[in-house]
Homo-oligomer: A and B are copies of this chain.
């Protein structure tokens, strides 16, 4: 399978697939003309990467998950540990964004948004604000 087909089947751009090969996440065969030749197993790996990346795992975490995926002797505990750590991280990010959202919303709702220069958003950013 050429890279174009692999791209279509995995949902990853060809550029990204080459990049993943560069950083050692897969090693497709080559045909005589030098083109990359993807096996069905390669496609599985690519789809696995696409899914785990879109779930928010870093490329390095994907590397670990991929090796667990390919390890028939794996302990599910190892996978669970990575996923739980990611969950904690996501929770932290959500909390941070919700905090930001609250402050920003407060500022936006107190700004007239007209042609006058007075602006509580600028005041806050300048350290003259009321919020927080």
Instruction: Please list the residues of chain A having a beta carbon within 8 angstroms of any beta carbon in chain B.
Output: 44, 47-48, 51-52, 55-56, 65, 68-69, 71-77, 79-81, 83-84, 86-87, 90-91, 93-94, 97-98, 100-101, 103-105, 107-108, 111-119, 121-122, 124-127
Chain B residues positioned under 8 Å from A116 (CB to CB):
75-76
Say whether A101 contacts B125, CB under 8 Å: no
8 Å CB contact of A127 from B47, B55, B112: B47
Given contact pairs A101-B90, A101-B91, A112 touches B69 in the complex (Cβ within 8 A):
no
Interface of A is mostly: helix
CB A105 to nearest CB in B, in angstroms, measures 6
8 Å CB contact of A44 from B69, B91, B108, B126: B126
Q: Which 10 A-B pairs have the closest CB atoms?
A: A80-B113, A76-B119, A77-B113, A80-B111, A75-B115, A79-B119, A74-B117, A94-B97, A52-B125, A79-B121
Chain B residues positioned under 8 Å from A80 (CB to CB):
108, 111-113, 119, 121
Counting every copy of the chain, the complex holds 2
Say whether B76 contacts A118, CB under 8 Å: yes
Distance between Cα atoms of A79 and B66 in the complex (Å): 46
Distance between Cα atoms of A52 and B103 in the complex (Å): 12
Chain B residues positioned under 8 Å from A122 (CB to CB):
65, 68-69, 74, 76, 79
